[in-house]
Structure 1
Amino acid sequence: MEPKYKLIYQTLKNDILTQKITIGSKLPSENQLAQDYKVSRITSKRALTELENDGLVTRKAGIGTIVKKNNIEKITKSEIIFVIPFANNNEFGDYTSGLLQILDDTSDFQLTTINNNIFRNLPLSRIKAAKGIIYYVESLSLELPIITNLYLNDIPIVLLDKSFEDLPIPSVTSDNFTGGYLATNELIKNGHHNITFLTNEVNLNEASVRSRYFGYLSALKKQQITPEILHADLDQDKTIEYLVNNINNKKITGLVAENDVIAIRIMNELRNHNIQIPQQLSIIGFDNIQASKLSYPALSTIDQNFVALGENAANLLLNLINNSDKSITKRTTIPVKLIERQSINTLGDK
């Protein structure tokens, strides 16, 4: 497991190198970083010390840690860019530890994390300065132009979480189909037959969500159960009203949510409408994010191995970089597993 200080160190370093934190800015204190990342003060101090050793900051008693350098050119000759939409990807999934476990085995590469929106606005010359790109696709339709441009310019790239079916770019994804099947089958095993798939994808455009839905369909078909899909706009009262009415009428007893974020939010919304979970509605999510353990009740979910996803993406990219044949199109699927917690009830239980 990657030391905890490295996530803080790498996040701050990336923010400095990409000028998100500018020269002269003051970094959060050791105590503040310890609180933000839920680590000890010793761990946060180690991260700031590493930044000082890199010559990026100066530390003065009574003043704090001040950024003194963000010289990108010094780093980019061996840079790998990790494009990801989450502000702190460790809260959603710890891809970074997996990437660093592979990249730290060689001194040739430096990982820079950049938000998708910022990356889309980078000039091509800046992107070409990097050795390669690991790209977490936020939206296939939105990001098709930039990914196509990378492909046409022969920039080594590996897609993470999603893939383009007909574009020859290597990718690393979780086994979303099996995950959808396992989630649905767990509800069926517990006596549920009125099971709805909840998604905010109106047309199931995203391949990962579509695969989860197909896994849901497969499990229901095996038991000859009629499927139902609910496109949830949780900001619309009618969505919640629809669910409440159907739960009260027992037309829905089980819910397979597209991901944990939606599952947790719907649990909170339904609690405000006096729907008891899991007594009236059993629900299962997908991702096994940190918040799923802390929700009330604790959320049953499908675990993605984020570290393995990161490791495989890094290995694929290094193969691309070191191989004169840039036509490598390997697609790697990482297994998932069911995590049983308290959000599923067996029908007939009190």
Structure 2
Amino acid sequence: MQTKYGTVKKAIKSKILDGTYEPHHKIQSESEMMKQFNVSRHTVRLAIGELVSEGWLYREQGAGTFCADRTRRDAQSNSLPRKNIAIITTYISDYIFPSIIRGAEAYLSESGYNVSLFNTNNNHEKEREYLEKIITQGFDGAIIEPTKSAYSNPNINYYLNLERLNIPYLMINAYYDALEPISVLVDDERGAFLQTEHLIKQGHRDILGFFKTDDMQGNLRMKGYLKAHRMHKVPINPKLLNTYQTDEKETKPVEELTQLLTHIEARPTAIVCYNDELAIRLINVLREKNMKVPQDISIVGFDNSFLTELSEVKLTSVQHPKAELGQTAAKLILDMIKQQHNHKELKQEIKSVKYPTELIVRSSTREVPVKGRDLEKAK
């Protein structure tokens, strides 16, 4: 359990690290902090005293306590790369993340860099903790997968402070729109368009869509699903569009599909899934209902992961570059570091990368008769 003075110390340090307190900026008075944290003056002075001795603050007699200017000291220590890169992802060992990380780690290691891996579990508090480590522990740069990228991020100030301190960072899989960072992405919208168009061209009209909407990818994939319906003039049934959050991914889609399958008259003939992980989970639901894929219902995944070959029905899925995406991110962050250190040989502008998508067709989908129209007209 954290001590009272530790809580005060951490709060002051966080305001320094997120840029709230700039160099030579006067911090709150002792009285204000006593009231804010409901602690004694002794507790506040103990916290401030440690931060002064550690070089985060300085005192001026009769004027108050100020944020120290660490920029010059940090700039001196940053004059040469220390060969340390941070990789922050929402998950490390799950699903496609190991492949992405291996791609980045292999390239960085070959270039002589040490890699530190951090896992946020899609939690903003964890993200903040690791951003503080990047700022304080001498990292040359960072590759970051943003946490809940569809939402306003409470850690934006930390990213702005990274920029102020000239610590390069880029984002993978998604990005925070307000920051407009260099990023390495997959064309999620186009990928979901291809998923849905494939099913429409096979004659499907009642296409169930599942999309995780607390990240940018899920929203773009939902957009692609809707765009394919509109382009092919297929009416969208709102009851067939389902969304969920990360913490609901193991329960809500399963419950929604189970509920829909109880109504035979409104039963969908195909499913577009946010990713392969979800597709396999829903295939298990169908199996429990004695429904066969693709004879009774077609299903399409996204990411072309190892899961596509695990089921007895090989899963149609959208290609994801995985290791190549990680390698590209690693190359770009090293280019950004070189540019930061004014290497004259790097003159070109560093740009974001978006990988095109391709649908890998396997045996989880099949053609069905088009109700009331010729199949060719849907193509």
Matched, 1:264 2:268: no
5+ residue gaps in structure 2?
1-80, 343-348, 370-379
Matched, 1:113 2:117: yes
Q: Look up the SS of the partner of 1:145 in the other structure.
A: coil
Matched, 1:103 2:116: no
> How much has 1:179 moved relative to structure 2?
0.2
Residue of structure 2 in register with 1:235 after alignment: 251
**Amino acid aligned to 2:173:** D
> How much has 1:252 moved relative to structure 2?
1.0
Distance (whole Å) between structure 2 residues aligned to residue 141 and residue 190 of structure 1: 32
Task: Spell out the pairing of 1:314-333 with structure 2 (5 A cutoff).
Answer: 314-324=330-340, 330-333=351-354
Distance (whole Å) between structure 2 residues aligned to residue 242 and residue 249 of structure 1: 13
Q: Report if aligned partners of 1:183, 1:256 keep a CA contact under 8 Å in 2.
A: yes
Change (3 A) 1:92 1:168: closer
Q: Report if aligned partners of 2:185, 2:355 keep a CA contact under 8 Å in 1.
A: yes
Q: Look up the SS of the partner of 1:213 in the other structure.
A: helix
Matched, 1:334 2:355: yes
Distance (whole Å) between structure 2 residues aligned to residue 322 and residue 147 of structure 1: 25
> How much has 1:139 moved relative to structure 2?
1.3
Which shifted more, 168-177 or 249-258? 249-258
Q: Report if aligned partners of 1:196, 1:229 keep a CA contact under 8 Å in 2.
A: yes
Change (3 A) 1:142 1:219: closer
Residue of structure 2 in register with 1:281 after alignment: 297
Instruction: Choose which of 301, 310, 335 in structure 1 pairs with 2:326.
Output: 310
Number of residues of Structure 1 aligned to a counterpart in Structure 2: 268
Runs of 4+ in 1 over 6 A off after TM superposition: none
Distance (whole Å) between structure 1 residues aligned to residue 93 and residue 109 of structure 2: 20
> How much has 1:100 moved relative to structure 2?
3.4
Residue of structure 2 in register with 1:85 after alignment: 90
Distance (whole Å) between structure 2 residues aligned to residue 143 and residue 121 of structure 1: 18
> How much has 1:126 moved relative to structure 2?
5.1
Q: Look up the SS of the partner of 1:255 in the other structure.
A: strand
Distance (whole Å) between structure 2 residues aligned to residue 174 and residue 239 of structure 1: 28
Distance (whole Å) between structure 1 residues aligned to residue 174 and residue 214 of structure 2: 11
Residue of structure 2 in register with 1:218 after alignment: 227
Distance (whole Å) between structure 2 residues aligned to residue 345 and residue 125 of structure 1: 51
> How much has 1:92 moved relative to structure 2?
4.4
> How much has 1:143 moved relative to structure 2?
8.3
Q: Render the CA deviation track for 1:109-142: whole Å, top value 9, x for unaligned.
A: 1112111255532472554411111011241267
Q: Render the CA deviation track for 1:45-69: whole Å, top value 9, x for unaligned.
A: xxxxxxxxxxxxxxxxxxxxxxxxx
Which shifted more, 94-103 or 305-314? 94-103
Residue of structure 2 in register with 1:178 after alignment: 190
> How much has 1:211 moved relative to structure 2?
1.2
> How much has 1:337 moved relative to structure 2?
1.4
Q: Report if aligned partners of 1:173, 1:333 keep a CA contact under 8 Å in 2.
A: yes
> How much has 1:105 moved relative to structure 2?
4.0
**Amino acid aligned to 1:344:** T
Instruction: Choose which of 146, 149, 167 in structure 1 pairs with 2:179.
Output: 167
Distance (whole Å) between structure 2 residues aligned to residue 123 and residue 307 of structure 1: 24
Q: Look up the SS of the partner of 2:257 in the other structure.
A: helix
Q: Render the CA deviation track for 1:165-186: whole Å, top value 9, x for unaligned.
A: 2313111110111101111111
**Amino acid aligned to 2:365:** I
Q: Report if aligned partners of 2:151, 2:214 keep a CA contact under 8 Å in 1.
A: no
CA RMSD of aligned residues (A): 2.8
Task: Spell out the pairing of 1:200-211 with structure 2 (5 A cutoff).
Answer: 201=212, 204-211=213-220
Q: Render the CA deviation track for 1:75-99: whole Å, top value 9, x for unaligned.
A: x932101112324257545112321
Using the size of structure 1 for normalisation, the TM-score is: 0.69
Change (3 A) 1:92 1:277: farther
Change (3 A) 1:90 1:256: closer
Change (3 A) 1:93 1:300: farther
Using the size of structure 2 for normalisation, the TM-score is: 0.64
Residue of structure 1 in register with 2:22 after alignment: none
Distance (whole Å) between structure 2 residues aligned to residue 245 and residue 205 of structure 1: 28
Matched, 1:187 2:199: yes
Distance (whole Å) between structure 2 residues aligned to residue 230 and residue 126 of structure 1: 38
